[in-house]
Chains A and B, each alone.
Chain A
Amino acid sequence: MLAYTIKRILQSIVVLLVVGLVAFSMFQYVGDPVDNMLGQERTQADIERVRAQLGLDQPFPVQYWKFISNAAQGDFGISYRQKRPVMDILRSSAPATLELAFVSGLFALIIGITLGVITAIRQNGFGSGIIMTLSLIGVSLPTFLIGILLAHLFAVELGILPSKGRGETVIIGGWVWSVFGTQIQFPSWRTGFLTESGLRALILPSITLGLYQMTLIMRLVRSEMLEVLRQDYIRFARARGLRERAVNFRHALKNTMVPVITIAGLQLGSIIAFAIITETVFAWPGIGNQFILAIRAVDIPMMAAYLMLVSVMFVIINLIVDLLYFAIDPRLRVDRTAGGH
């Protein structure tokens, strides 16, 4: 177990270093940052000074190491477009994305598992057929179209839910505590969970973002359930006279949870990446929105930071899921260490 953990952590670090190299080379080969920082009227001395200031006169490996160590401390430089530190922008827009991802993940899990169980229990029912067909159409519908449709239906036609922005938000945290003379500042967090309009604004974007993951979880739960329901111990549980609900939920569903948790964990990263689309449709002030604006404006520090942030997130999620899997399912231990894959 320990050897495997160390191996996986080392692999993750290598992945991050490679992604870091990609992010770093964007600065190297794409445009000249000196051009971006100095105006038209500049002298050679100005250029030299700024180059030295930015460390551009150093050799490549030194610059790369500096980039990585700065990034590890959360310093990605100044955004070309907004002229303020990239980390500040990310920090102020992260809560919006994380809250959206959390709610849509929750939606995907709860509704996905419920529908999966229903379609498995009533395998040949009329309702199940409709749900399965709809899920196929749902997979083919691009996320942005779902967003437009939902926004139009519920915000414009029915006028019951907002289609733009986060609604009213409240800032929590940011308190300064002094403990034994040292000042500790809590990070501040702009939340939409505490106001009614904030909660209502979350509904449509969360459904849009979570719909794909929901169909995925639903199909997974359904096929796993169908497999489990055929097992002898389920028949035995029925023979013991247990109630149908107890059999389905306490005995069958429990045994489908390992793959569901794995997939759900892996999908968490995709939710954060796909938030880009949802955030654009619903004018949601999150990191994804910032990323699209950065691409349009060729704001390289912002793009590099987003790339690093997302890959760190993906690598950590992958690592946790792998290790959890390894811990939960003893059968994998032999394969993994022997196969070395």
Chain B
Amino acid sequence: MADTGLDKSLVPAHRYPGRLARMWDSDFVFNFRKSPIAIVAAVVTLVLILSAIFAPWIAPHEPFNPATWDIMSGNSRPMVPNEFTGKVFLMGTDEQGRDIFSTILYGMRISLFIGFSAVIFAMILGITLGLLAGYVGGWTETIIMRMADIQLTLPSILVAMLIFGVAKTLIPFEYQDRVTMWVLILAIGLSDWVQFARVVRGTTLVEKNKEYVQAARLIGRGPGAIMLYHILPNVLNPVLVIATISLALAIIAEATLSFLGVGMSPTQPSLGTLISQGQQYLLSGDWWILVFPAATLLALALSVNLLGDWLRDALNPRLR
């Protein structure tokens, strides 16, 4: 936060607000406190992320350890004692007696891990290429931005599918199960860097002609240091907004790929895989196997989306 410009010696020590208090009163946090939608979205996101991280401690069962499956309790309805074993499951069980609540927690863990990793990968790639294109210019810029243009003509989900398809052919069959997750991260990340690169390039073009960059050049800092230490901090606000919205998109993209059968396999299910499995039970009336994973995915995507929307407005100085 910027210094308030107060001379500390003029203000009695107990009147000078502490770091936390100043943060509490900053524009950003004030804006957050005044927006009920942002608060709800942030709380939901936080709860979901925490429960995914702590899944091994929260989950009542280990859904991927066949020894703990309880076939007798199979097809239990949510919150209704099972007719044979009398056990109660919060969100019911599937045919093999797997606890749906636990599978969702573990599935969300995979979905979030892929989503976050893909966005971080796309972010690093996009920022690097965007900075290079904006600062260096010339041929570098032409090549990078033409690549971005070409990729933008195709929807990113299609690009991700193609990358996944090609990667699948390159990897020997016996390793496929183990690396699918990384292939998905690569595919979704590569399909998503363009947004970052475009925004970073645009901001860099503006920033590189400002006086502080000229000053830095004057005192002899190299182009790498200028990009990293001087320009990068000034492009982070828009990057943060895009990253949040990209996270929602990446989670949905992963779920879509897994649903279509070109993503996580049933042995290591993400939310998309769970939904695809649950769809098969819907016809027999076991709605809970589909509805709870679907609702979790929706809650996750919607709250991250709303958070991104709020962030865009809060960080946009023109809207203040």
Contacts and interface: CB of A to CB of B under 8 A. Distances in A.
Interface stretch (B54-62, B80-88, B199-207, B290-298): B290-298
Interface residues of A, number: 40
Contacts of B262: 292, 295-296
Given A18-B150, A303-B162, A140 B169 contact: no
B282 interface: yes
A141 B298 contact: yes
Contacts of A29: 170
Interface string B157-176: 11001101110111000000
B116 interface: no
Nearest to B165: A295
Contacts of B170: 29-30
Interface residues of B, number: 35
Contacts of B169: 26, 30-31, 298, 300
A92 to B, nearest CB: 22
B248 A273 contact: no
Nearest to B290: A148
Interface string A136-166: 1101111111001000100010000000000
B216 interface: no
A292 B298 CA distance: 24
Given A276-B158, A277-B256, A298-B165, A314 B261 contact: no
Contact of B154 (A139, A273, A298): A273
A140 B260 contact: no
A139 B308 CA distance: 13
Contacts of B158: 273, 276, 310
Interface in A14-47: 15, 18-19, 26, 29-31
Contacts of B153: 15, 269, 311, 314-315, 318
B301 A280 contact: no
Given A140-B305, A145-B297, A148-B279, A30 B260 contact: no
A270 interface: yes
Given A156-B283, A295-B262, A296-B262, A274 B255 contact: no
A48 B37 CA distance: 67
Given A156-B282, A280-B260, A296-B262, A142 B252 contact: yes
Contact of B259 (A18, A144, A269, A300): A144
B290 A295 contact: no
Nearest to B295: A145
A51 to B, nearest CB: 19
A307 interface: yes
A139 B248 CA distance: 11
B5 interface: no
B264 interface: no
B247 to A, nearest CB: 12
B25 to A, nearest CB: 30
A336 B224 CA distance: 33
Interface string A256-299: 00000000000001100110110010000000000110111010
Contacts of A311: 153-154
Contacts of B252: 140, 142
A318 B152 CA distance: 11
B240 interface: no
Contacts of B127: none
22 contacts: A19-B150, A29-B170, A30-B169, A136-B305, A140-B252, A140-B301, A142-B259, A142-B297, A142-B301, A143-B256, A144-B260, A148-B279, A156-B283, A273-B158, A274-B157, A277-B259, A280-B259, A280-B260, A292-B261, A295-B168, A298-B169, A307-B162
The 9 closest A-B pairs by CB, nearest first: A295-B165, A30-B169, A140-B302, A273-B155, A314-B153, A142-B252, A298-B169, A273-B158, A140-B301
Interface of A: 15, 18-19, 26, 29-31, 136-137, 139-145, 148, 152, 156, 269-270, 273-274, 276-277, 280, 291-292, 294-296, 298, 300, 303, 307, 310-311, 314-315, 318
Given A140-B302, A270-B155, 12 more contacts: A15-B149, A29-B170, A136-B305, A142-B297, A144-B255, A144-B275, A148-B282, A148-B294, A276-B260, A292-B261, A295-B164, A310-B158
